Amino acid sequence: MFSSRWRFGLDRYSEVDLFTDRYEADVETLSQAIRAAASEEPDADGSVLFGHLKGTVVGLRYYTGVVNQGEMVGLVRQPENPYDRNAVMVANIYGNQVGHIKRELAAAMAHVMDNNLAKVEGVVHSGTKNTFTMPVMLSFWGKEENKNAVIEGMARRGYKLNTGGSSATVVIPFFFQLKNAFDNLFDGLMESKDGEKEASVGTPLLPHQKQALSWMCARENKSVLPPFWEKRGELYYNSLTCFSAKEIPERIRGGILADDMGLGKTLTTIALILTNFHNGKPLPVETFVSVAVCECHQLEQHVRANVKLNVYLYYGSERNRSKAFLSSQDVVITTYNVLSADSGNKSPLHGINWLRVVLDEGHVVRNPNAQMSKAVLGLKAQRRWILSGTPIQNSVKDLWMLLAFLRLKPFDVREWWNRVIQRPVTQGDRAGLQNLQTLVKCITLRRTKSSKVNGRPLVSLPEKAVCVEQVELSQTEREEYELARNEGKNTIRKYVTEGTVLRNYADVLAILMRLRQHCCHPDLLAKTSSDLGKTSTPAELRERLIDKLRLVLASGSDEECSVCLESVHLPVITHCAHVYCRPCIAQVINTEQETARCPLCRSEIKANELVEFPQEEMEEEKSTNSDKWRTSSKVQALMGNLLRLRCEDSSIKYLVVSQFTRFLSILEAPLREHGFSFVRLDGTMSQKKRTQVIQEFQSSAADSPAIMLLSLKAGGVGLNLTAASHVFLMDPAWNPATEEQCIDRCHRLGQTRKVVVTKFIVKDSVEENMVKIQRQKQDLVEKAFGSSNTERKTSRIDDIKALMEL
DNA sequence: ACCGCCGGGTGCC
DNA sequence: ACCGCCGGGTGCC
């Protein structure tokens, strides 16, 4: 549904041409209103087509909005219309009113629209026959469960939906069937015919950065029609929406620089700021230019190092909120949080007309409902840029926010984005995907580390060697391991025979977990509860569930929520021991009420039976049992390596990586004992502490730490640990990509030494099997994206069987 | 003539 | 609107 603001906006300003984005207060208010309404447009996901209906648009002579043959129109309810509270307004893509739906039909549609039973869309096929009315083809979309209500509701009022023909439309609720296509969406966007532009930046630009700079300058300066627009005689015509206009469509001054991380996007952007002020002339000193929204302030470092620029860091409680002051700066840097906190109440950042707004790590804003996104969309600027190595995190949906920020019309209004791109693409429409590709191609430059310019790789990284070191368990360790393995094998075999692996998924993971812990260090098992099954008191049940939750979360399996298919956020565990995001499972329960069942095993679930991780346990988790310290074969293997290497070259720095933070704690003792200086980085640390630790480790000072104990998944992709050139992976991960990402933290731009990776794998153990599976994993992951959720889980079961040699 | 028919006025919601 | 609808004028053929 559109908000009242949208309706208000269109009633009052229906004559305003939204297309030319003049900076007049009214226009700005209106486009803001439309954008606000746009973000409330519900997702098209899961919508099915109920049917078509031919209707009439009347009152054309009272309005200026024009529509061409084949053009899509929007239908907007006007409950406040003084002549008819059932009124349905018809508007073209630019929000200009075209007319109204004929009264009787509007009454029927109002019922359907107001009760949220269907979304109605219109296409004008035949064009205007006369100056008074015209036919419109209406299509009704909505949730399957509302289909009959809509068809009957319309029929009762004498309108029979034409449902024939397209009943074969299959809507697949998730989008991963096209995941591969999305992954490739940003591939091959590297041709840049704009040459290489020199820039007077302190740091010399690499050839690919000069290319990017030329491309960015061209996008800011050159007059090119936006995607899908062509000139037809006197008119400009949009081939996707069939809209045509007399005025030249406003071009997008900006785009998405989607180079891989480490290729110097930030540096290139600084070069752009310096070299392309007005009319392709360099920036004269002392002139305001840009606002950049950053996550890491990397920008500041470059700028400071390179040129004399007025740079203001706009954050902290003492920040200068004067518009005049901010306008006098060359660059203003702020964070998404500050921007979001400021927006609304007389935000100076929102009051200034910026020459350029740059979103660093732009993928951070992708949820259109988030405050942060609204704050970003509200910025006024002539030129707009998004820097992101990973513009699509999960699905096509992520792109909307980016296009909306760039104001790529008409897609900055969600309805048109949904109709023209998102729905066709999610429903597997090839043309839709192709349109999306064209769209992205027009505004994006992306190169990967492996891309080549003139036959040469973009960046030459030092060599990387990966070796696996087999670890033999001691006799005692082996005996304990075999005991646990046989016990677990019997349990899992039982589940497989019964076909209840999914129902007992947490147990299975727990068994595997224990075996993996055995491979690292016996003390890792200390907190694991032993007996499973037998239910006793509610308190004991709860305790056991929390135990399982802890195991699942700590298992490093990158457990995903089966509802949203993303990493679990705010994890809760059901009584049947399956882990979901709290909001996801709460929605399932809310929708299905008493009949709610676990999406994985179909056991009954209730809202009050969801168990979450107690806060005090989170704290407790950090402290380890201070029992007497003992060693393990794997600890010995690591220490052997470290001592030998220290003799060979004392200048090497090391990353010691484990999925078990408690294993990292165990390692601290022998490191101290042998006089190794080390720091530690794990997910529990505050942002401030992390920065401090990273700086310490990256320092080249003689007394700087030689080792970083690193938890496998700590830190984002931007984490730069190039001081290290040797990586010890203490235990294998389920997902080889996780290991790769971790290695890439030191094997990246800025690394000067050869990188050596040592993976410790316990011989004849579940770890060896994990490595075997890893080899096929890449393939499996790709297949899984092309299959259903159940198939993915089934392949997981096969993994488990292989791991346990069943 | 409590109808039919004719032709002018008129027109979104 | 070269329509439909409304309501006033009109009334055998």
| Predicted pLDDT at A31 | 43
- Nearest protein residue, CA measured to C1' of C1: A132
Whether A484 shows a pLDDT value over 90: the answer reads yes
Mind listing the pLDDT tens digit for each residue in A311-337?
A: 888 887 788 888 889 988 888 988 888
Residue–nucleotide distance: A28 CA to B5 C1' (Å):
59
Spacing of A58 CA from C4 C1' in Å:
14
Q: From the alpha carbon of A131, which nucleotide's C1' atom is closest?
A: C1
Spatial distance between the Cα atoms of A103 and A86, rounded to a whole number of angstroms: 8
In one letter, which amino acid is A687?
A: Q
CA of A103 to C1' of C6 (A): 18
Cβ A106 to strand B below 7 Å: yes
pLDDT the model gives residue A53: 93
A99: the nucleotide nearest its CA (via C1') is B12
A100 touches strand B (CB under 7 A): yes
Q: How far apart are the first and last CA of chain A?
A: 54
User: Separation of CA A131 and C1' B9 in angstroms?
Assistant: 20
Lookup: nucleotide whose C1' is closest to A61 CA: B12
Looking at per-residue pLDDT, the higher value among A351 and A24 belongs to A351
Q: Three-state secondary structure along A363-417?
A: HHCCCCCCHHHHHHHCCEEEEEEEECCCCCCCCCHHHHHHHHHHCCCCCCCHHHH
Q: Cα(A602)–Cα(A574) distance, rounded to whole angstroms? A: 11
Query: Gap from A672 CA to C4 C1', in Å?
Result: 96
Nucleotides of C under 7 A from a protein CB: 1
* Dmax (CA) of chain A: 93
pLDDT digits (tens, 9 = 90+) for A343-352: 876 788 999 9
Determine the distance from the C-alpha atom of residue A638 to the mean position of all C-alpha atoms in its chain, rounded to a whole number. 36
CA distance A753 to A755: 6
Say how far A230 CA is from B4 C1', in Å. Answer: 59
Q: What are phi and psi of A134, to 5 degrees?
A: -155, 155
**pLDDT band at residue A631, thresholds of 50, 70 and 90?**
very high
> With bands split at pLDDT 50, 70 and 90, how would you rate the model's confidence at A80?
very high
pLDDT of amino acid A259: 87
Rounded distance between C-alpha atoms, residue A324 and residue A76, angstroms = 41
- Interval A113-133 mean pLDDT: 87
Percentage of residues in chain A having pLDDT higher than 90: 34
**Distance of CA A127 to CAs A96, A105, A137, Å?**
16, 20, 11
Say what percent of chain A tops pLDDT 70. Answer: 78
Nucleotide closest to residue A62 (CA–C1') = B12
- Give A130 CA → B6 C1' in Å: 28
Our measurement of CA A552 to C1' C10, in angstroms, reads 92
Identify the pLDDT of residue A47.
Answer: 85
pLDDT tens digits for range A416-472: 999 999 888 888 788 888 888 888 888 999 887 777 777 777 777 889 999 999 999
Split at pLDDT 50, 70, 90, the class of A623 is: very low
Task: State the residue for tokens 């090839």.
Answer: A430
A209-223, A443-457, A742-756: range with lowest mean pLDDT: A443-457
CA of A88 to C1' of C7 (A): 30
Assess whether A11 (CB) lies less than 7 A from strand B.
no
∠ Cα A210 A214 A220 (to 5°): 145
Nearest nt (C1') from A132 Cα = C1
Q: What is the structure's pLDDT at A11?
A: 30
Which nucleotide lies closest to A133 by the C1' atom and the CA atom?
B12
- From the CA of A104 to the C1' of B5: give the distance in Å: 30
For strand B, which nucleotides have at least one atom less than 7 Å from a protein CB? 12-13
Query: Which is higher by pLDDT, A739 or A504?
Result: A739
What is the distance in angstroms measured between the alpha-carbon CA of A56 and the sugar C1' of C10?
A: 37
pLDDT at A4: 27
Residue A504: the pLDDT is: 78
* A356, A385 contact by CB (below 8 A): yes
Confidence of residue A37 (pLDDT cuts 50, 70, 90): very low
The yes-or-no verdict on residue A575 having pLDDT over 70 is: yes
Which nucleotide across the nucleic acid strands is nearest to A63, CA versus C1'?
B12
Mean pLDDT of chain A: 80
d(CA A377, C1' C7) / Å: 57
Residue A515 in this model has a pLDDT that exceeds 50:
yes
Residue A129: per-residue pLDDT = 62
- Least confident range of A4-8, A560-564, A737-741: A4-8
C1' (B4) to CA (A154) span, angstroms: 36
A219 C-beta less than 7 Å away from strand B = no
| Nucleotide nearest residue A103, measured CA to C1' | B13
Per-residue pLDDT at A29: 39
State the average pLDDT over residues A481-502.
90
- What sign for the dihedral angle of Cα A451, A456, A459, A464? positive
Q: What is the mean pLDDT of residues A580-596?
A: 87
pLDDT given for residue A122 in this prediction: 94
Strands (E), A507-603: 571-573, 579-581
Alpha helices, H only, A521-627? 538-554, 582-592, 615-622
- Which nucleotide's C1' atom has the smallest distance to the CA of A84? B13
Contact in structure between A656 and A670 (CB atoms under 8 Å): no
Cβ-based neighbours of A104, under 8 Å, separated by 6 or more: A157, A158
Please give the nucleotide, over all strands, whose C1' is closest to the CA of residue A130. Answer: C1
Distance A231 CA to B12 C1' (A): 34
Which residue's alpha carbon is at the shortest distance from the C1' of B12?
A: A59
Across all strands, nucleotide nearest A105 (CA–C1'): B13
Domains with residue ranges and CATH for chain A: 47-168 (3.30.70.2330), 181-450 (3.40.50.10810), 473-624 (3.30.40.10), 633-791 (3.40.50.300)
From CA A523, how far away is CA A169, in angstroms rounded?
Answer: 56
Residue A73 (CA) to nucleotide B2 (C1'), in angstroms, measures: 49
Strand segments (E) across A239-304? 244-245, 254-257, 290-294
For residue A781 the two structure tokens come to 């992951």
How many other CB atoms are there within 10 angstroms of residue A465's CB atom? 10
Lowest-confidence segment of A27-41, A154-168, A360-374, A720-734 by average pLDDT: A27-41
Continuous H helices in A555-659:
582-592, 615-622, 633-648
Token reading at A319: 């920040």
Instruction: Give the mean pLDDT of A403-419.
Output: 91
Q: Which residue is nearest to nucleotide C2 (CA to C1')?
A: A130
pLDDT confidence of residue A794:
67
Sign of the torsion formed by the C-alpha atoms of A11, A13, A16 and A21: negative
Dihedrals phi, psi of A513, to nearest 5 degrees: -60, -45
Which residues neighbour strand C (beta carbon < 7 Å)?
A 58, 130, 132-133
Taking only the tens place, the pLDDT of each residue in A673-700 is 999 999 999 887 776 788 789 989 999 8
Mean pLDDT of A272-297: 66
For range A360-376, the mean pLDDT:
85
Backbone angles phi, psi at A500, to 5 degrees: -115, 25
| Residue A627 phi, psi dihedral angles, 5° rounding | -65, 180
Judged against a pLDDT cut of 90, whether residue A310 lies above it is answered with no
Q: Tell me, what's the pLDDT at A128?
A: 62
Element (H, E) at A207: helix A207-221
Which nucleotide lies at the shortest CA–C1' distance from A129? C1
Residues 39-98 of A with CB under 7 A from strand B: 58-59, 62, 81, 83-84, 86-87
pLDDT of residue A615: 61
Amino acid letter for position A52: H
Distant-in-sequence, close-in-space partners of A702: CB < 8 Å, separation ≥ 6: none
Please give the torsion angle defined by the CA atoms of residues A399, A43, A41 and A102, in that order, rounded to the nearest 10 degrees.
130
Does the pLDDT at position A546 exceed 50? yes
Q: Average pLDDT, stretch A760-775? A: 86
Q: Gap from A132 CA to B9 C1', in Å?
A: 18
Asked if A297 contacts A304 with a C-beta cutoff of 8 angstroms, the reply is no
Higher pLDDT residue, A220 or A719? A220
Alpha carbons A686 and A414: distance in angstroms, whole number:
37
pLDDT value for A612: 85
Count other Cβ atoms within 10 Å, centred on residue A627: 8
Q: Which nucleotide is nearest to A58 (CA to C1')?
A: B12
Q: How far is the CA of A132 from the C1' of B5 (A)?
A: 29
Contacts 24+ apart (CB under 8 A), A637-642: A637/A469, A637/A471, A637/A760, A638/A667, A638/A728, A638/A730, A638/A760, A639/A670, A639/A674, A641/A469, A641/A728, A641/A758, A642/A671, A642/A674, A642/A676, A642/A707
Distance from residue A176 (CA) to nucleotide C8 (C1'), in Å? 70
CA of A106 to C1' of B9 (A): 27
Within 10 angstroms of residue A318's Cβ, the number of other Cβ atoms is 6
User: Residue A60: which nucleotide is closest by CA–C1'?
Assistant: B12
Which segment, A41-45, A136-140, A608-612, A778-782, is predicted with the most confidence on average? A136-140
Handedness of CA A502, A506, A511, A516 (dihedral sign): positive
Interatomic separation, CA of residue A499 and C1' of nucleotide B4, rounded (Å):
82
**Cα A84–chain centre separation:** 44
Q: Is the CB of A102 under 7 A from strand B?
A: yes
pLDDT of residue A368: 84
Residue A179 has pLDDT above 80, yes or no: no
Nucleotide showing the shortest C1' distance to residue A104 CA:
B13
- Residue A81's nearest nucleotide, by CA–C1', is B13
Q: How far apart are CA A392 and CA A396, in angstroms?
A: 7
The answer to whether the beta carbons of residues A684 and A622 sit under 8 Å apart is yes
A294-303, A556-565, A724-733: range with lowest mean pLDDT:
A294-303
CA distance A775 to A793: 18
